[in-house]
Structures are given as structure tokens and as C-alpha cells.
């Protein structure tokens, strides 16, 4: 049985309270690791270590911070295959996907933010009789709380900018996928990250998550996860005026006009529907197709979706691995029953998938396409976060804009058309933080990323991350 440990003050240690959680492999249903169920006592140790480390880390020359973090990035690249294996085993995603997407982004996140930190400048405002200099200073001890769908990718996406601008961090990965953050902790030690600069605490939301949002020593909370959790966190941090950002759930529309580049749209729409078993916050789960193309799209899409191989994440030709946990598997199956009871016509999938051999007890779901559901049903209003999409036809841009905007969410949208004017007109109407035209999940790390409405508050990426993780101070000099 593997044992995950907390990383506090530069050391790997067991939780003070001696409580542990089981961690299973979603592809087999077998428990393979024990995870600390940390609590306030572990957090107090971590915050004390981070406060002490902050005195030095926030004041060393930027070049020194950059050297250390780039050393860590190099180690992540050198240990990529071990991280790939752990991420896939822990999360259920195909290994090839972890190798192509998740793990390369860890080193890339670190290097992107170190290089941005080296060239970052702040503003100056000249007056006729003096000038203003705007300082952006590290805040102190900041916390990051991240989810299980892209475990180390999102963990490092938050930790990298926070550290690069001189904060010290309490990082809480999801208790459902703790393995790569644990491995990352070991790489931090090897990279020579000074003790206390990053502390990694494992455990669930009720135990260590709550302790983090309540702790007086923590000045900032950067959260990515579900909308219901985000709402709780916002309420928790309000009385102590912590700065916070929320990256939350989505119910993203994918709008397809008849004049689109069909093959590119079809290939990308299969990915945006089913990649990572549909467990990417940016997956398009409501597909709207212009009337003239609808029948052709439906038949082709359903035919191709039904052929996607659901299988052992270790096999290279597996397109969908396991969903992350038994609990999540049950949740998705329940959503499918609701879709059926709402009158949805299941065009393919619609239930659990069985995979033989070592995976026969794993948590697999068939790629599912549903037709004939109105906008205002539960299936089209709530995030399922699985390989499940609904399809519907539309006639006009105004109609599809209303459909796209007709949920409480506003994270991302895709629009497919060869008429860029149509694409831009619709992009301007859509209420979401990100709109992709003729593509999906194309990420430039300099761009603002985040959601509107119940999909979040604040933006990450590029200088938005640096502004979030610093305190702004204007210094005014009068001649």
C-alpha cells in the first residue's frame, strides 16, 4: 500500500492526528494508497513554516526564485513518465492523455510564470509636480485548492504564479487524486525549494479545506472546483476579508453553423464532448446545430461516438478511460436516469460500460448522446461532468444566443462557422469568460481565463494571476 504524506517545512510527514483516507484506482476499483486526512493542527504547522519562509522568499532577488522554480520545472520534465503513470492510475484518464496534456503542462506552467515574472513591470504615473509608482507586492501566505480532473496541471497552474511573485503557499490538492502532488513535493525537495515556501496538505474539504478557508494566517484563497463548493468558500472567507478567486463549473454550449469546416468541427466536437471522459470544465455538453446540418451531424456524430473505445487507461487505443471515483460514477448514472425520465432520447450510450480483465470492477461510462430535451430541464441546466452531451437544432443566431445563455453557468463556449462576422457577433453575445471560434481548448497562457455568472469570479492566466497574488500599493512623490 502506497502512503501519501504531507509536505510541511521542507519535510514529508504523517498527519498529526493520525487519520487517513483510502485512495482507489478508478480503472480497477482497488484501494492502492492511504492519504492523510489533515486538520487544523497540520495547517498550523504549515502556516507557521510558510510565514517564516516568506521573510526570505519574498525578498530574494527575482533571479534566485526563477532559478529554483526552473530547476523544479526541469525535474518535472525528467520525471514525466513517473508522473504520467501516477496521474493515470489515480484519475482513470488514459495514459496517453496524461502524457500529451497533463504532465507537460506542469513544467510549462512553472517556466511560463518564471519568465513572466522576470519581465513584469509595474505602472508609473507622472504628474506635473511629482509622480506615482504602483508597487505590486507579494501578500504572504496564500492557499490554493484544486480539483481532481486535471490534478497536477491545475495544482501547478495556481502554485507557479503565487511562488513566482514571492508568496509562500499552502497547496491543497483534491483528496480524490493526491498522488502527483505528493510526487511533486518530493521533486520540490530535490530542487532545493527552501523549507516552508510550498507546503502541501492532503485531506478532504470538510477537514482541511474548511480549516484553510477559516485560518487567520492565510490571506488569499485561490479555488478551482464545483460551484456548490465555491459558494461555501465565498461565504467562509467573507468575514475575514480574504482575497479570493473562484474557477467553477460549466454547462458549455457548442454552436455549430451549417457553413463550418465540417471535418475539423466533427473531430474537435468529439474531443470537446468526451476528452478526459467529459471531465473537463471546458467540455461542451450542450451541442446546438443549425437546422440544415442537423440530421447529417447527428447521424455522423452518434456513429463516431459509439465507436470510441472505452477501456483500460494503460492501452494506447483507449479513447475514454474510467471516471474518477465510484461516487462520481453513480452520480453520472443517476443523471442518465434523470435524462431518460425527462423524455430524452438516448442515441448512443446511456449507461455504464464494462471493460474486461483487470478493469472489470472499474468505473466506466459509455459515451452518451441525448436528443430531444428542452433547455429548461435538469439535464440541460446542471453540470454532469461526464461523457454525456445533448444535441438540439436551431434556426437563427438570436435563438441560439438565448439557448447558449440559458443556464446559470458562463464558463466557455465554442462557435463553428466559416463566416467570421457570424462568429464574432455571436461571441459578443455569449455570456461566458472564454469563447473559441473554430477550435476548442486552445490555450495561450497569457490570456485571461475564468467564468461569468455561476462559473466563477476573477480571472487566472498571465498578468491576471500576478495581480491576484499581489497587493497593489501606490506610492506618490510630490516634488
For residue 148, the minimal CB distance to ligand NAD (Å) is: 5
Partner residues linked to 130 by β-bridges: 127, 478
Distance CA 281, CA 299 (A): 26
Residue 392 phi, psi dihedral angles, 5° rounding: -155, 150
Q: Whose CA is closest to 381, among 437, 453, 472?
A: 453
What is the C-alpha separation between 276 and 149, in angstroms, rounded? Answer: 8
CB of 56 to ligand NAD, least distance (A): 28
Query: Strand 368-371 vs strand 345-348: parallel, antiparallel, or unpaired?
Result: antiparallel
Q: Which CB sits closer to ligand NAD, 57 or 385?
A: 385
User: Smaller CB distance to ligand NAD: residue 43 or 347?
Assistant: 43
- Closest distance of CB 147 from ligand NAD, Å: 3
Which residues fall within 8 angstroms of residue 325, CB to CB, at 6 or more apart? 24, 26, 148, 176, 363
Whole-angstrom distance, CA of residue 44 vs CA of residue 141: 12
- Count Cβ atoms within 10 A of the Cβ of residue 416 and give its class: 0-12 exposed, 13-18 middle, 19 or more buried: buried
Nearer to ligand NAD, 42 or 247 (CB): 247
Of 272, 225, 226, the C-alpha closest to 412 is: 272
Candidates 55, 302, 317; CA nearest to 196 is: 55
Taking the CB of residue 307, how many other CB atoms lie within 10 A of it? 11
Nearer to ligand NAD, 312 or 383 (CB): 383
Nearest approach in angstroms of CB 302 to ligand NAD is 25
Distance of CA 295 to the CA centre of its chain: 34
Identity of the residue, 66 or 275, whose beta carbon is nearer to ligand NAD in the bound complex: 275
Residue whose beta carbon is closest to ligand NAD:
205
CB of 110 to ligand NAD, least distance (A): 19
Q: How far is CA 255 from CA 260, 361, 435, in A?
A: 10, 37, 11
Shortest separation between residue 250's beta carbon and ligand NAD, angstroms = 6
Report d(CA 71, CA 394) in Å as an integer. 52
320 within 8 A of 373, measured Cβ to Cβ? no
Closest separation in Å from C-beta 456 to ligand NAD? 6
Of 83 and 154, nearer to ligand NAD (C-beta) is 154
For the annotated catalytic residues, the residue numbers are 247, 281
CB of 133 to ligand NAD, least distance (A): 34
Residue 208 to residues 36, 84, 181, 245, Cα–Cα distance (Å): 10, 27, 16, 18
The residues near 192 (Cβ < 8 Å, ≥ 6 apart) are 68, 71
Tell me which residues touch ligand NAD (CB under 6 A).
145-149, 154, 172, 174-175, 204-205, 209-210, 213, 224-226, 229, 232-233, 247-250, 281, 383, 385, 411, 451, 456
**Closer CB to ligand NAD, 88 or 224, in the complex:** 224
C-alpha distances in Å from residue 341, one per residue of 56, 166, 328, 336, 349: 60, 53, 20, 9, 16
**Which residue's CB is nearer to ligand NAD, number 257 or number 468?**
468
Task: For residue 304, report the phi and psi dihedrals to the nearest 5 degrees.
Answer: -75, -40
Q: Which three cell numbers stand for residue 241?
A: 476579508
Amino acid at each position: 500500500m502506497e502512503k501519501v504524506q504531507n509536505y510541511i517545512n521542507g519535510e514529508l510527514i504523517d498527519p498529526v492526528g493520525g487519520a487517513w483516507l483510502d485512495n482507489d484506482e478508478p480503472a480497477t476499483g482497488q484501494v492502492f494508497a492511504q492519504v492523510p486526512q489533515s486538520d487544523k493542527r497540520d495547517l498550523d504547522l504549515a502556516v507557521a513554516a510558510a510565514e517564516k519562509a516568506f521573510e526570505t522568499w519574498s525578498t530574494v532577488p527575482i533571479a534566485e526564485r526563477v532559478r529554483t522554480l526552473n530547476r523544479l520545472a526541469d525535474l518535472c520534465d525528467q520525471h514525466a513518465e513517473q508522473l504520467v503513470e501516477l496521474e493515470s492510475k489515480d484519475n482513470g484518464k488514459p495514459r496517453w492523455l496524461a502524457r500529451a496534456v497533463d504532465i507537460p503542462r506542469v513544467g510549462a506552467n512553472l517556466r511560463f510564470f518564471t519568465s513572466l515574472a522576470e519581465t513584469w513591470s509595474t505602472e508609473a504615473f507622472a504628474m506635473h509636480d511629482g509622480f506615482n509608482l504602483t508597487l505590486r507586492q507579494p501578500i504572504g501566505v496564500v492557499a490554493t485548492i484544486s480539483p481532481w480532473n486535471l490534478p497536477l496541471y491545475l495544482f501547478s497552474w495556481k502554485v507557479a504564479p503565487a511562488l513566482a511573485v514571492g508568496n509562500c503557499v499552502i497547496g491543497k490538492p483534491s483528496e480524490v487524486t493526491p498522488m502527483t502532488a505528493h510526487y511533486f513535493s518530493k521533486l520540490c525537495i530535490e530542487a532545493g525549494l527552501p523549507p516552508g515556501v510550498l507546503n502541501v496538505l492532503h485531506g478532504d474539504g470538510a477537514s482541511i479545506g474548511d480549516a484553510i478557508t477559516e485560518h487567520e494566517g492565510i490571506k488569499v484563497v485561490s479555488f478551482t472546483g464545483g460551484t456548490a463548493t465555491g459558494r461555501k468558500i465565498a461565504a467562509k472567507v467573507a468575514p475575514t476579508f480574504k482575497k479570493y478567486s473562484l474557477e467553477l463549473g460549466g454547462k458549455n454550449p457548442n454552436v455549430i453553423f451549417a457553413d463550418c469546416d465540417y471535418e475539423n468541427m466533427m473531430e474537435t466536437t468529439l474531443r470537446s464532448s468526451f476528452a478526459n471522459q467529459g471531465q473537463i470544465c471546458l467540455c461542451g455538453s450542450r451541442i446546438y446545430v443549425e437546422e440544415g446540418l442537423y440530421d447529417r451531424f447527428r447521424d455522423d456524430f452518434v456513429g463516431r461516438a459509439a465507436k470510441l473505445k472505452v477501456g483500460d487507461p494503460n492501452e494506447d487505443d483507449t479513447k475514454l478511460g474510467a471516471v474518477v471515483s465510484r461516487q462520481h460514477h453513480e452520480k453520472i448514472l443517476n443523471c442518465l436516469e434523470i435524462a431518460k425520465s425527462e423524455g430524452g432520447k438516448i442515441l448512443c450510450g446511456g449507461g455504464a460500460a464494462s471493460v474486461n480483465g483487470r478493469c472489470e470492477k472499474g468505473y466506466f461510462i459509455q459515451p452518451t448522446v441525448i436528443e430531444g430535451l428542452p433547455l429548461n430541464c435538469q439535464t440541460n441546466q446542471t453540470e454532469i461532468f461526464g461523457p454525456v452531451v445533448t444535441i438540439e437544432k436551431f434556426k437563427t443566431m438570436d435563438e441560439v444566443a438565448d439557448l447558449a445563455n440559458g443556464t446559470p453557468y458562463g464558463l466557455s463556449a465554442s462557435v463553428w462557422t466559416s463566416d467570421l462576422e457570424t462568429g464574432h457577433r455571436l461571441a459578443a453575445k455569449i455570456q461566458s469568460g472564454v469563447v473559441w471560434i473554430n477550435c476548442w481548448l486552445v490555450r495561450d497562457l497569457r490570456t485571461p481565463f475564468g467564468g461569468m455568472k455561476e462559473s466563477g469570479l476573477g480571472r487566472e492566466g498571465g498578468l491576471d494571476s500576478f495581480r491576484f497574488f499581489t497587493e497593489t500599493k501606490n506610492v506618490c512623490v510630490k516634488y
